[in-house]
């Protein structure tokens, strides 16, 4: 971090803390607000903020082409509506730390999807990462009696959300979206927010009823998700341009630990029987996914040098 170290440190803290706390605040939001209204408010706020930020720095001149907008809409449907939307629904009955740990397995699923759909080579380090990841998730979800019995509807909905997010992540680069990440994400967020708003108006309850029955913590949580979530994305896009990729992706290892602490310590959520085994195994799997190739290259170099 030779240039702008204060901004880099602030950006890292933002994505660590905000993204690490996202699932905790989703859980607090859906305790008293229907999921569709959580999604509508969060993504309308987030999309409007990102597109406003993009307009302020001239990124909307010229406007993205209809093809780029359509691609963003399709990706947003998979990423945010299918991925985050299903996680939001699941968190009505699923502890936030479990949702976060399931979501942390996204790189592992992407490593499986890429060879199947895109023909990419699955390296040895990724094979290890996939193996550790799947074992870790299975151990994490195991209720001590039956793995099948551990897969309750909320867990299955959450897993479906992770699959949708992973599929979009794998296929995302094939869509001709806007070259500006802020514009692309803003379109996705605003589209999902408006779709959720329309669905909420059709299925009910009315916005006034939803707000009347919402707790103060739930309302604060929605604002937190919409506003600080957008700031975290802005911090992430800056880091991608200014910092080494292997340092930036460290959020995938840090965020689950923050979510775990918040869920167990602040929300008094119930730990699964083998949480202490499943979490380290998942983190080892993520470590192999993110840094395995560099580790094995370093080991080969040491072996050749006789060190």
pLDDT confidence of residue 1: 45
Residue percentage of the chain with pLDDT more than 70 = 98
pLDDT confidence of residue 14: 92
pLDDT confidence of residue 105: 85
**pLDDT tens readout for residues 272-304:** 999 999 999 999 988 888 788 888 888 888 888
**pLDDT tens readout for residues 209-264:** 999 999 999 999 999 999 998 888 888 878 877 777 667 778 888 888 999 999 99
**pLDDT tens readout for residues 94-112:** 999 999 999 888 888 888 8
pLDDT confidence of residue 307: 56
**pLDDT tens readout for residues 117-155:** 877 887 888 899 889 989 999 999 988 888 777 889 999
Q: How does the average pLDDT of the chain come out, rounded?
A: 89
What CA–CA distance (Å, rounded) separates 45 from 30?
17
The answer to whether residue 160 scores a pLDDT higher than 60 is yes
pLDDT confidence of residue 293: 84
The answer to whether residue 164 scores a pLDDT higher than 50 is yes
**pLDDT tens readout for residues 112-121:** 888 888 778 8
Summarize the confidence of residues 145-174 as an average pLDDT: 87
């Amino acid at each position: 971090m030779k240039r702008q170290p204060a901004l880099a440190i602030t950006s890292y803290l933002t994505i660590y803390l905000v993204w690490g706390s996202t699932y905790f605040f989703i859980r607090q939001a859906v305790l008293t607000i229907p999921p569709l209204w959580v999604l509508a408010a969060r993504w309308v706020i987030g999309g409007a903020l990102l597109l406003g930020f993009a307009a302020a720095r001239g990124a909307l001149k010229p406007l993205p082409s209809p093809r780029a907008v359509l691609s963003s809409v399709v990706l947003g449907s998979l990423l945010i509506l299918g991925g985050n939307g299903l996680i939001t629904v699941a968190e009505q009955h699923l502890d936030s730390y479990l949702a976060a740990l399931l979501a942390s397995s996204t790189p592992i699923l992407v490593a499986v999807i890429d060879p199947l759909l895109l023909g990419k080579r699955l390296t040895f380090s990724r094979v290890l990462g996939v193996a550790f990841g799947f074992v870790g998730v299975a151990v994490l979800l195991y209720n001590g009696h039956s793995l099948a019995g551990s897969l309750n509807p909320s867990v299955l909905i959450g897993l479906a959300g992770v699959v949708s997010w992973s599929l979009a992540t794998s296929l995302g680069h094939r869509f001709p979206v806007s070259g500006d990440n802020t514009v692309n994400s803003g379109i996705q967020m605003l589209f999902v927010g408006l779709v959720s708003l329309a669905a909420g108006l059709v299925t009910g309850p009315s916005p006034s009823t939803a707000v009347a029955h919402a707790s103060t913590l739930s309302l604060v949580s929605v604002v937190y998700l919409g506003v600080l979530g957008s700031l975290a994305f802005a911090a992430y896009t800056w880091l991608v341009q200014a910092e080494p990729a292997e340092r930036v992706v460290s959020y995938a290892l840090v965020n689950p630990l923050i979510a775990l602490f918040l869920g167990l310590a602040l929300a008094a959520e119930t730990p699964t029987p083998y949480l202490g085994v499943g979490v380290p195994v998942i983190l080892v799997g993520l470590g192999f996914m993110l840094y395995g190739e560099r580790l094995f290259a370093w080991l080969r170099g040491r072996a050749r040098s006789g060190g």
